[in-house]
Each structure stands twice: as structure tokens, then as C-alpha cells.
Amino acid sequence: QKQEKQIREETIQGIIQDRKDLIDQIDELARNDNVKGLLSVINSPGGTYVGSKEIYDSIKEISKKIPTAVYMKEMATSGGYLVSLSSDKIYGNAGTITGSVGVILQTIDASNLLDKLGINPIIVKSGELKAVPNPAEKISSEKLIYLENLIQKMKKEFLAIVKENRKVSDSIIEYISDGRVFTGKEAENLKLI
């Protein structure tokens, strides 16, 4: 019986979080000698940095064995773009929205609201930076600087991945580093796809 050689397609849709199922499928494909290529279709605004990076790492690993390509549909921003960077070739539509290179941490300061409601949170923690940010506590300028530094480190890692995979100039890296989005056509002109 003759085995047919296959090009497999995997779709990444929606918010990217823990996708062990997808990573397991990609790892299974890596062990299948009949699979000769992988096309990933991405339509995602991003998600968690770790979830996106794990998928990136898995596709990057299989790309050592077989050709990989990605097609970005309506949107492949932030973590969706990070996943796209794992493939040998990146394709998109002229109207695809991509970019948004960076990391975001969102929280709120609900301490004034809690105070107005007469609620006094009791917080016991092992260190000053444990559970920062915590919506029940005001955040000091020192803690805010700590968080900003953490986010900047993750952003630098993301930008390094862009530079390594797309071979773009430092001026392009500087230009995209503010988190802006691009149409597919703009991204192509910047050599991001």
C-alpha cells in the first residue's frame, strides 16, 4: 500500500491561551513521515504571551523538519503575529490586520470603590511584590515601575523574535515597537510578512 504524502492545515482561531491540544497535534505531525508540510491559518487578536510562545516554539521545531507557512486571515495581531513568526513563510491578505507587537497587562484599582462600600480588604502576603497588581490595593509608583520593567523585558523578547525571523532593520524594529497595527499591504512593505 502506497502512503500518500500530505500537507496538513491547522487553524488557530480566537483568543490564544493554553493550546496543549494544538501543540500535541503539531508534535504528532512531526513524528509522521508522511506529512511533508504544514500550513497554519491564523485569525486571532492574540492572547497570552506564554500560550502564543508555546505554539510558536512547537511550529518552529517542526519547521526544522518540514516546510511551514502561515496564512493570516482577517487578523493576526499580538500573539497571533507571534505565532505567525514561527513559519518559514508568512502570507496575508491586503486587508489583514497584523502587528500589535508588544505585551499588555491590564488591571484596575478598585480600592476607592471598596472604601466607599465600607469594605476593608485584608491582604496577607509573603513579600511586597507578591500579587502585584492587586485590584484591592493602590499601586505605588515603585510597584508600577516594577511592572513596567517586566512588560518591557517581554516586549524586547518579542521584538527580538521579529528581528530574528523577519531579518528587518533596527529602524523597522523601532517603528513597530510602539504596538501599532498594520494592514497586510503595509506589513508586506515593512517585510513583516
Active site residues: 78, 130
Q: Which residues of 76-103 are buried (b: 16+ CB within 10 A; e: fewer)?
A: bbbbbbbbbbbbeebbbeeebbbbbbbb
Instruction: Assign residue 105 a region (left: φ > 0; alpha: ψ between -120 and 50; beta: otherwise).
Output: beta
Q: Is the dihedral of CA 182, 53, 10, 66 positive or negative?
A: positive
Using only the alpha carbons of the chain, give its radius of gyration: 20
Cell numbers describing residue 116: 466607599
**Amino acid letter for position 190:** L
**Amino acid letter for position 92:** G
